[in-house]
Chains A and B, each alone.
Chain A
Amino acid sequence: MNNKKIKAGITVFPGSNCDADVYRVLNDVFGISASFIWHKDKIKDLGGYDFIVIPGGFSYGDYLRSGALAARSPVMEYVKDYASKGGIVLGICNGFQILLEAGLLSGVMLTNNSLKFECQDVYLKTLNTETPFTCALKKDSLLKMPIAHHDGNYFAEKKIIERLNDKNAVIFKYCDENGGITELSNPNGSMHNIAGISNENANVMGLMPHPERSSEKILGSEDGGYIFQSIIKYIKEK
């Protein structure tokens, strides 16, 4: 695929560890021009990028709370500015936690209710396909992707959940392989099986599963690729 004209920025914090995976998938699988943005880089205007990915990992060793310290680093101020102007921002796993801590998404991640680091394949149900992250998918599509996290137990007060539902901002829910949204298919205790949410304008999305680890057949699933295909489609049609 040749998408060289599309420019993506991947933020890197001390402790990010999925940055290289995202880089590989964007550049080698989808032919995008992706580059790293070190958290101290003074690229004040991210406007040159078509989208930004905040990858997974353990930024700042998860000290204080997962994502809390990265959310307050200089680059996140630029990401906030970029998002407020409608820029597309995708946060994966720790990236999702950072977006929550930065206030770009609502709610918070608690420790998994199993108290364990959960590392397994899960199924996701796509609830909203009218976003830059899901526009290449059909509603209710099931995606198989891996999760790998300790703090993925999404929690928010009732008012926030109601607002997310009103705005169709719950994008993905954990489900079983038949699409049933059940307690058994919830790997971490997340409220209402929530696996991914967006902001109200749907230009910022966070999800716990790893699409960059499931974009190539050799890795067992290509379903995560639909997220990146959607972003490419959205940018090309814009």
Chain B
Amino acid sequence: MNKKAFIKIMLKDEVLDPQGKAVLSVLKSSGFDNVKDVRVGKYIEVDFAGEAKGGHASLKEEAEKISEKILSNPLIEEFIIEIK
């Protein structure tokens, strides 16, 4: 079966997330007083056409390259990859 990469991209902790702040203020005004902070990120699924020669490890490497070069901006974002 073809493998997929599940990639989660979040702004680094030190970067202000205006979208998260906007959601936070709506949650608070909707009565969810227990909410302390919200950060909004991206979730991307990449479907691979076939098994890589090197198997699981090289697919992960490919997903890392994709994430580093295109899907995220390393200046402000970090990513986590899961291959399934």
Contact = CB atoms under 8 A, between A and B. Distances in A.
Q: Do A and B bind each other?
A: yes
B71 interface: yes
Interface residues of A, number: 15
A156 B75 CA distance: 8
Interface in B1-58: 15-16, 18-19, 21-22
A115 B22 contact: yes
Looking at chain A's contact residues, is the secondary structure mostly helix, strand, loop, or mixed?
Answer: loop
A71 to B, nearest CB: 9
Contact of A108 (B21, B22, B76): B76
A65 B67 CA distance: 13
Given A155-B76, A156-B75, A110 B18 contact: yes
Given A111-B18, A115-B22, A101 B73 contact: yes
B75 A111 contact: no
Interface residues of B, number: 11
A218 interface: no
B18 A108 contact: no
Contacts of A156: 75
Contacts of B73: 65, 68, 101, 108
Contacts of B16: 110, 113
Given A155-B76, A156-B75, A157-B75, A111 B19 contact: yes
A131 B16 CA distance: 32
A101 B76 CA distance: 12
A107 interface: yes
B70 A115 contact: no
Contacts of B75: 107-108, 155-157
A122 B49 CA distance: 49
Nearest to B75: A108
Contacts of A68: 70, 73
Interface string B48-84: 0000000000000000000000110101100000000
A2 B53 CA distance: 61
Contacts of A65: 73
A65 B44 CA distance: 13
A64 interface: yes
A72 interface: yes
A171 B15 CA distance: 24
A110 B76 contact: yes
Given A110-B18, A113-B18, A64 B76 contact: no
A72 B18 contact: no
A155 B70 contact: no
Interface of B: 15-16, 18-19, 21-22, 70-71, 73, 75-76
Interface of A: 64-65, 68, 72, 101, 107-108, 110-113, 115, 155-157
